[in-house]
Amino acid sequence: MEIVRKSQKTEQQTDRRWRISPEDSKQTGARSTISGEQTTMSGTKFQARVLDRNNLNQAYLRVKRNKGVAGLDGMSVDDLLPYLKAHRQKLLDSLANGTYRPMPVKRVEIPKPNGGKRKLGIPTVVDRLIQQAVAQVLTPIFEQVFSDSSFGFRPHRSAHDAIRQVIDLYNQGYHCVVDLDLKAYFDTVTHDLMMKFVSQYVQDPWLLKLIRRFLTSGVMNGHVFEPEIKGTPQGGPLSPLLANIYLNELDKLLTSRGHKFVRYADDCNIYVKSKRAGQRVLASVNRFLERDLKLTVNREKTQVGSPLKLKFLGFSLSVNRNGAYARPAKTSKQRIKQALKQITKRNRGISLERMFREIWQKMRGWLQYYGFGKLQAFIKRLDQWLRSRIRQSIWKSWKKIKTRIKRLKQLGEPVREAHIYANTRKGPWYTAHTGVLKYTLTNEKLEGLGLMNMSKTLQQIQSA
């Protein structure tokens, strides 16, 4: 493991070495699937490739760059290098002789936009390192296998790429969509089927045994150990790849039947030309998912409808004379407005500087993602609404009449008008829309204090 042997080098220097990754080497023993042949990797020395020091160094950098919270043992990402220096050989020996045992993952629940909870399983940083090393070796192999209509958790295939394909399919005349929803997909994957699907392409006992141990390492929910008989816990570097391997069976079925589809992780949309065809496809695919893949279809959320009304990856479609284009779905716009409302609540007791910083942190990523679609008019309205929220918040903070008079005078309001407006009996929201605050707390003034101009930011993102 190079990171241990040459720890005096800087990470930047070491990173130049790690750019020569196993992904760039020839994969002896593999056969291309372009012609429909089965890909096998039984002739490859997987142990040597996973434990190759360049591969492990690259995995270390990726784990360190991703940061993340500590696992069950409490070891942080910053503690990983000292641990490797002290235990490098012992770790490598345990991996090589098959005695390595991953620790249970730590259960963490995060809120979902719909109000539910998403279960994550956080492996220890050492287990994350090994999972990442395995994923780096397997990814280029399965990239030869995966469908061109699959996008999630794959290199150089983004959500925007998926939406582009959706737009293209709509413009080809596929105006009806089968929107599949799998219930708790990551928690219901069957281990035996997963290993069967992996072994179709990788026939190495050492690697298959290691993958199964990661799948069955169990979960610590508080102080209670829960054995894992199903699922591939979200939170580890290997889990996204395994999830794609499992659903690749669905991709193969849809491709063999000539269906047009776009899948992003467990979100799958199948595009057809009529609602009647969509109902037939839905019934057939439901049978396959539940009978052959042992997954649960959420029948309440799975539906057949129009891409102009249903959402996919937070987007819906609209149409103009140039064809279809993406726009943020109604729920996406409602959620961001609600998030800004929570940030700008006056009773939070935070400074304007912190409030503006939180707005910037929230909106920068949102605009970068949804700026792919058409949303200038919405952002212009949101800008106006947000500035009114800020003016209202500032007005509320000037609780006393003498404070209002003082602040208005400081902002350039004449003394007589400052006294008149400071004594108003109108509510803060009404006052935020009147001339006194618009002419004193101008858009330029708020921007100078640090408030993001979302319209300008969007324009910069879209023109970059």
Task: Note down pLDDT in tens along the chain; length 464 residues.
Answer: 444 333 333 334 333 333 333 333 333 334 333 333 344 455 568 999 999 999 999 999 999 999 989 999 999 999 999 999 999 999 999 999 999 999 999 988 888 776 677 888 999 999 999 999 999 999 999 999 999 999 999 999 999 999 999 999 999 999 999 999 999 999 999 999 999 999 999 999 999 999 999 999 988 888 888 888 888 888 899 999 999 999 999 999 999 999 999 999 999 999 999 999 999 999 999 999 999 999 999 999 999 999 999 999 999 999 999 999 999 999 999 999 999 999 998 788 788 899 999 999 999 999 999 999 999 999 999 999 999 999 888 877 777 888 878 877 887 777 777 776 777 777 777 777 776 777 788 889 999 989 999 999 999 999 87
Residue 72, domain member (yes or no)? yes
CB 364 within 8 A of CB 453: no
Residue 181, domain member (yes or no)? yes
| 232/84 same-domain check | yes
Residue 383, domain member (yes or no)? yes
| 77/189 same-domain check | yes
CB 214 within 8 A of CB 238: yes
Half-sphere exposure (CA, 13 Å, Cβ side) for 26?
4
Please identify, among 264, 282, 311, the residue that sits at the C-terminal boundary of a domain: 311
| 182/145 same-domain check | yes
| 369/241 same-domain check | no
Model pLDDT, residue 140: 95
Cα dist. 399→33, 158, 354, 369 in Å?
71, 49, 20, 39
Please identify, among 311, 345, 377, the residue that sits at the C-terminal boundary of a domain: 311
| 242/274 same-domain check | yes
237: left (phi over 0), alpha (psi -120 to 50) or beta: alpha
Distance, CA of 405 to CA of 410 (rounded, Å): 9
Residue 343, domain member (yes or no)? yes
Model pLDDT, residue 426: 76
Residue 319, domain member (yes or no)? no
| 125/266 same-domain check | yes
Residue 143, domain member (yes or no)? yes
Distance, CA of 163 to CA of 86 (rounded, Å): 47
Question: What angle is formed at CA 346 by the lines to CA 369 and CA 453, rounded to 5 degrees?
Answer: 35
Question: What angle is formed at CA 437 by the lines to CA 432 and CA 442, rounded to 5 degrees?
Answer: 115
Helix (H, G, I), strand (E, B) or coil at 174: coil
Please identify, among 311, 337, 371, the residue that sits at the C-terminal boundary of a domain: 311
Domain that holds residue 434: 329-463
Model pLDDT, residue 241: 97
| 340/301 same-domain check | no
Whole-prediction pTM = 0.84
| 356/285 same-domain check | no
| 378/272 same-domain check | no
| 159/289 same-domain check | yes
Residue 61, domain member (yes or no)? yes
231: left (phi over 0), alpha (psi -120 to 50) or beta: left
Alpha-carbon 336 to chain mean position: 16
| 121/268 same-domain check | yes
| 364/275 same-domain check | no
Distance, CA of 214 to CA of 216 (rounded, Å): 6
Residue 4, domain member (yes or no)? no
Q: Tell me how many domains the chain contains.
A: 2
CB 60 within 8 A of CB 91: no
154: DSSP letter: B
Report the interhelical angle of 352-370 vs 376-397 (nearest 10°).
170
Structural tokens at position 354: 């912190």
- Please write down the long-range contacts of 15-21, taking CB distance under 8 Å and 24 or more positions apart: 15/61, 17/54, 17/57, 18/54, 18/57, 18/58, 18/61, 20/54, 21/54, 21/55, 21/58, 21/136
Question: In 3-state terms, the chain is what percent helix, strand and coil (to 5)?
Answer: 55, 15, 35
